[in-house]
Structure 1
Amino acid sequence: MRKNLLILMALTLIFAVFAAGCGTKPQASDTPSNAAGGAVKEEPKKTLKIGATAGPYSDMVSKAIKPIMEKKGYTIEVVEFNDYVQPNKALANGSLNANLFQHVLYLKKFAEDNKLDLKELISVPTAPMGLYSKKFKSVDEIKEGSTLTIANDPANLARSLVLLQDIGLVKIKKDVDPAKASEKDIEDNPKKLNIKPLEAAQLPRTVDSSDLALVPGNFALAAKMDLTSALKLENMAENYRNVLVVNTKDVDTQLGKDLKETIQSKQFEQIIDEQFKGFSKPEWMKGK
């Protein structure tokens, strides 16, 4: 009996060792492998944060840039801002990968003043600034002493003065730096307009309360204003068109190339034509 028990124990031990040996046999794996037998690492999703002012330019990122970039494998988060200071600072400190809200003159001045290494990547279709009024139906009807509200920030103030000069309402001093121009640089004001600089976001509300209001296109659209109802729309210079901006170190990276390729694509222009009517296209797009 004791002998049989020893034999049974021995067989059990042998079986356990055999089973353990079988358990070490390589099994099929769900992990992709390369030809050498090593696991293939999947390319991580590239998450980008693009800042834009609330309104048409955050819409442009969401509707025209985001879907095309997502086809390239990116995940896009749109970050909205209500001022012209934080988007550049957020880009410079790495909180954003790109931003869309400013023209190149403002970018260069802001970057110089704040010692930021930022660079424009490409210009985009831009909503033109317009002169609006509920009291006058044409520029010729504007009366002497009329109240005019304009933007007080450098990004829009110079554009306002250039537009007023183009239609003969003011004359600005020669050789004025357009990035620094202010109402103090007005040399002649033949209709003695009472000019009141305000924050750009407030300007749409002044169309009803003032005689005239010069409203940047993005704020006009955000307030559901019809661009074609303006007494006059600006003849936009190329350096006043909005630009997509990145950190200078990213201009020649794959990110920079993909963003530029996206804006130059036929799909991007088609979305602009369908959903951003009235936007003034940059010269590079007109010449395609």
Structure 2
Amino acid sequence: MKKIVLSLLLALLVAGLAACGGGEKTTEKSNDDKTITFGATAGPYSDMVKKAIQPGLEEKGYKVKITEFSDYIQPNVALDSGDIDANLFQNRIYLENTVEEKGIDISELIVVPTAPLGIYSNKYKSLDEIEDGATVTIPNDPVNAARTLYVLEDVGLVKMAGEIDQLTASEKDIVENPKNLVVQPIEAGQLPRSVEGSDLAAVPGNFAIAADMDLLSALALENMPDHFRNVVAVKTENKDKQFAKDIIEVIESEEFLAVIDSEFKGFGKPAWMEEK
């Protein structure tokens, strides 16, 4: 009888240890996992996941969860830790800089349509009306400042001395300013409001949309190179997993394009999409 009781207790102990061992969290995503957690900043890019990406993935049998973030730091932290499977909020330059600075192992999966930066004004109806000494507010972060300077150069308002460093760019890179524009760097989130108090305002597309501004009302819109467009990113170890391939397939589909054309007017399309 004692031997039987001892054997039962030993069996229960082994089963308990096995159960505890099975509860450990893993950040590696298996090919047969049909749940995808997508991280995105609140606004147009979480909307893009919800309206243009999620339906296609659900047709493929996935359950899609969307986690919204209010800053640009946590989406990559969450991706690297395995709390989310993919994110959509950053451009290639920001991604590459984050990987280098933080030492995390995440990679670009595919470039997506992106809201362009625009030059807006409540005072002028065209670029030709801009007066000498007009004020222009621009983003005070280097990446968006670089984008602004390229737009201002493209429309002939300023000139820079060759290429500028997109991680250190500022109004100091301007070498010619024929209209003597007064450049005022401010926080990007304040730029939509600055349209009221300045002659011109350079507003990144996501902030313009968040403020219910019409992208197509800009005096000039950014002719955005792909390295300034947003990307879907995943952990590097997951780039070749089936769920990553399915995300690419959904984004390259005609259904995705149709939603972009109807729901995201004014968004600039990446080179691969324009070539289709």
- Bin the TM-score by the shorter chain: 0.7 to 0.9
Which ranges of structure 1 fall in alignment gaps of 5 or more residues? 1-42
Tell me the amino acid that sits aligned with residue 151 of structure 1.
Answer: P
| TM-align CA RMSD | 1.8
> Equivalences for 1:61-72 in 2 at 5 Å?
61-72=49-60
Tell me the amino acid that sits aligned with residue 105 of structure 1.
Answer: I
CA deviations on 1:85-114 (whole Å, 9 max, x unpaired) are 222222222222111112112211122112
Query: In the alignment, which residue of structure 1 is the partner of 2:22?
Result: none
CA deviations on 1:15-56 (whole Å, 9 max, x unpaired) are xxxxxxxxxxxxxxxxxxxxxxxxxxxx98633221212211
Maintained 8 Å contact 2:143/2:166:
no
Distance in 2 (CA, whole Å) between partners of 1:272 and 1:74 is 21
Question: 2:211 pairs with 220, 223, 228, which one?
Answer: 223
Distance in 2 (CA, whole Å) between partners of 1:175 and 1:155 is 13
Question: 1:267 pairs with 255, 267, 276, which one?
Answer: 255
Maintained 8 Å contact 2:133/2:181:
yes
SS in 1 for 2:196: helix
> Equivalences for 1:130-145 in 2 at 5 Å?
130-145=118-133
Distance in 2 (CA, whole Å) between partners of 1:158 and 1:253 is 35
CA deviations on 1:136-168 (whole Å, 9 max, x unpaired) are 111122222222111222342211111111112
The answer to whether residue 144 in structure 2 is matched with residue 127 in structure 1 is no
- Matched residues, percent identical? 57
Runs of 4+ in 1 over 6 A off after TM superposition: none
SS in 1 for 2:87: strand
Query: In the alignment, which residue of structure 2 is the partner of 1:22?
Result: none
Query: In the alignment, which residue of structure 2 is the partner of 1:242?
Result: 230
Question: 1:60 pairs with 48, 56, 70, which one?
Answer: 48
What TM-score, normalized to structure 1?
0.80
Residues 82 and 193 from structure 1, CA distance in 2 versus in 1: closer, same or farther, beyond 3 angstroms? farther
Distance in 1 (CA, whole Å) between partners of 2:177 and 2:121 is 19
CA deviations on 1:215-272 (whole Å, 9 max, x unpaired) are 1111111211111111111111122111111111111111211111110111111111
Q: Greater shift after overlay, 61-70 or 276-285?
A: 276-285
The answer to whether residue 187 in structure 2 is matched with residue 195 in structure 1 is no
The answer to whether residue 38 in structure 2 is matched with residue 50 in structure 1 is yes
The answer to whether residue 194 in structure 2 is matched with residue 210 in structure 1 is no
Maintained 8 Å contact 2:146/2:164:
no
Aligned length: 246
Q: Greater shift after overlay, 186-195 or 62-71?
A: 186-195
Query: In the alignment, which residue of structure 2 is the partner of 1:78?
Result: 66
**Considering only CA atoms, is the larger Rg found in Structure 1 or Structure 2?**
1
Distance in 2 (CA, whole Å) between partners of 1:230 and 1:178 is 23
What TM-score, normalized to structure 2?
0.83
Question: 2:146 pairs with 153, 158, 164, which one?
Answer: 158
Query: In the alignment, which residue of structure 2 is the partner of 1:32?
Result: none
SS in 2 for 1:191: coil
SS in 2 for 1:61: helix
Maintained 8 Å contact 1:157/1:181:
yes
